[in-house]
Structure 1
Amino acid sequence: MKLSKILSIATIFAVAVSANAAERLTLKAAKSSSSYYQMAVQVGENVSKLTNKELSITIEESQGSVQNVKEARKRTGNYVFTTPPVLLKLAKSQKAMFKRDNPADYEKVRSLFPIPYLTMHMVVKADSGINSFEDLKGKSLLIGKGSYGAREAKKYIELFGLKDDVKLVGAELSGAVSALKNGQIDGFATSGSYPAPNVIEAAASTKIKLLSMSDEQIALTKRDKLIIPSGTYSGVEEEIATTTLPVGVYTTTNMSEETAYKLTKAFWESKPALEKQNIWWKAITFNNLDMFKTKLHKGALKYYNEVNATIPESIK
């Protein structure tokens, strides 16, 4: 066979392989039992489908957003992760759990798109006689461990003057529903976008009640107020006032502009399909871009400019 023909065949083969090769991404989400892991799976599946598998997303379980942010320092390639913007602010200012880190290591982080926000749920049995936080005195509350929800629940108990009156249980949330049903605990606290899967599960197995916060209590938490609509959970027929925290999807400058563009575009174009899978996706619109405090990746910015989305100057 002539050398020219061999080269021609090799070129065709190389082009075919290139055309079929998927760009691989890793999405670091949350614990497998959480709503945020479920969201990550949904995003991964829909983005892969919409891009005809040009983007292949591997979902990694995480112990929480702090771990996600810290790994951004050392991960290479297409590392994608979820976190509330406030943690990136702490990382860049060398505060709290990031006080021993080099803030410069986080300068390469870039924003992509928002996802449903963290929403605090305080779940008790409907017949427990617990109708307010004050009624938690002398009771046990499972809060999980190492998560945003665990930290918030502990903080709220202290802020509301109940520090020495409520037994906080640091067991894994995966056992919260059965523990509540069997009377091993009086309630549990969990964070996740509503409707939260573990709260749906609890409502399906026993009659539950969600504790509502007063405006004064919400002000003490320094979080945003959110109303969970009546009827969101089986048997909970009143509106519930609680707190919420924005959450976004981020990457680093290691990701190419083309890949970030494709990922961002695929996410927004798959949103109708995501909404059919879970109602929580309906709350996410271009208006949520103002939650970001970290600059957008150039690829994401390109997409938002194309669709004429309103973009805060601070993240361009």
Structure 2
Amino acid sequence: MKRRTFLAAAAAMTTALALSGAQAQDKKFITMDSFPAGSTPGQFSIAFTQIVQKHLPIEIQVSVGKPATKSAVDASQQKVDLFLTAPTINQFMQTKTAMFAKVENAPELNSNLRNILNYNLGPYHIVVYEDSGIKSLNDFKGKKVFLGPPAGAATKVATQIMEAATDLVPGEDYEVMRYDWQSAETAFLDRQMDVYIAPTTLPSPSVQQFALVSPIRILGIPEHAWDKPSMKAALGLPGRTIQDIPAGTYDNQANKEDVRTIGSWVGLGTHKWMDEETVYNITRALWENIAELHATAAWMKGINKDTLFHESNIPLHIGAYRYYKEAGFDVPEDQIPPEAK
């Protein structure tokens, strides 16, 4: 009797494992580069992944830590399926400028990239703790400053802001802290540096957690800096806007007046070789369940039919384009993929 019971249990387990294996084989696995959970891209990636995995037999394996420039190159070489695309990075790749100046095949790599949708990343937050005594960008002298990850597009913007607003020389007048995004958040929370600069949504969970530790001050770009060549260069790139951060956006925010800074747009991107049906299905799943995305965070309500193509400067993926055409979206001519022409 015991032997028969054991054999029956073993048979049931074998059947369960076989079914589990079959289900795993039926499920499609794709990879995605993202950012820390408290960041704008991190919040979007979590919500997007949950929607796709809830409504489709797809599992998205998410990794964080890379700068967006590295993710763009990796996607262009089919090393990752989904990534944070940025119009500015696409421009740098297409024109072989900035961090891509010495990358001979940068335009070719850029031509391999495709978009699915764009959204507002948010304004550049220049954050200090109120007890640091820092009241303006000129007060960074002798301080430890995080401008962004090494070789990152956001780092270039922060450097352009500092160049326009001050006479301080990075590496000489202040120490440039070299972290990835997640490590930088931890370092600022632990008071291992004095200034944290990052583009992020309003309000930002990352910035709010700083304010929970100690009162913060958010610095703006001074009026005289907006006419400087470096600032005009920053704003002259695709995906860049002027945006205000209102006073009172965060609990424990010391400044009582709105501050003006640079805003930025990014998107969900892929590469041209990504399976058409897969991209079609994940695009459809997102838009047919857009209420779930909007319920995740107030800022995500800004992702809608009126904004999803805003500031994009690479073609849509053929799968996304197919869905948008079927669903009646008005696709701009310059975003129609070459595969559809």
Report TM bin, short chain: 0.7 to 0.9
Corresponding position of 2:6: none
C-alpha distance after superposition, 1:99-120 (max 9, x if no partner) = 3242323322211012341531
Which letter does structure 1 place at the counterpart of 2:263? Answer: T
1:245 — aligned with what?
Answer: 264
Confirm whether residue 30 of structure 1 aligns to residue 35 of structure 2: yes
Contact 1:144–1:169, Cα closer than 8 Å, also in 2: no
The match for 1:42 among 18, 38, 47 is 47
Match of 1:4 in 2: none
Residue 125 in structure 1 maps to residue 118 in structure 2: no
Aligned counterpart in structure 2 of residue 108 of structure 1, from 106, 112, 130: 112
Offset from partner CA, 1:175-196 (integer Å, 9 cap, x none): 333344xxx5443222322322
Would you say 1:159 and 2:176 are equivalent positions?
Answer: no
> What's the TM-score once normalised by structure 1's chain length?
0.82
Partner of 1:74 in structure 2? 77
Q: What amino acid is the match of 2:81?
A: Y
Q: CA RMSD in A?
A: 2.9
Deviation at 1:234, TM superposition (A): 0.8
CA-to-partner distance for each residue in 1:252-310, whole Å, 9 max, x for gaps?
Answer: 22122221111112222333222322222122222220311111112111222233222
1:306 to 317, 320, 326: 326
Indicate conservation of the 8 Å contact 2:48/2:286, yes or no: yes
2:294 to 275, 282, 287: 275
Output one character per residue of 1:171-215: Cα deviation in whole Å (capped at 9) or x when no partner: 4313333344xxx54432223223223211111111111012245
Q: Which runs of 5+ in 1 are unaligned?
A: 1-12
Change (3 A) 1:150 1:286: same
Of stretches 132-141 and 199-208 in structure 1, the one that deviates more from structure 2 is 132-141
Q: Does 1:209 align with 2:217?
A: yes
Output the CA distance in 2 between the equivalents of 1:65 and 1:89: 13
Deviation at 1:243, TM superposition (A): 0.8
Q: 1:213 to 1:48 in 2, by over 3 A?
A: same
Amino acid at match of 2:202: Y
58-67 or 278-287: bigger deviation: 278-287
Go from structure 1 to structure 2 and tell me whether the alpha carbon gap of 1:232 and 1:276 turns closer, same or farther (over 3 Å shift).
farther
Q: CA deviation at 1:250?
A: 1.1
Q: TM-score, normalised by structure 2?
A: 0.76
One-letter code of the match for 1:282?
K
| Structure 1 counterpart of 2:5 | none
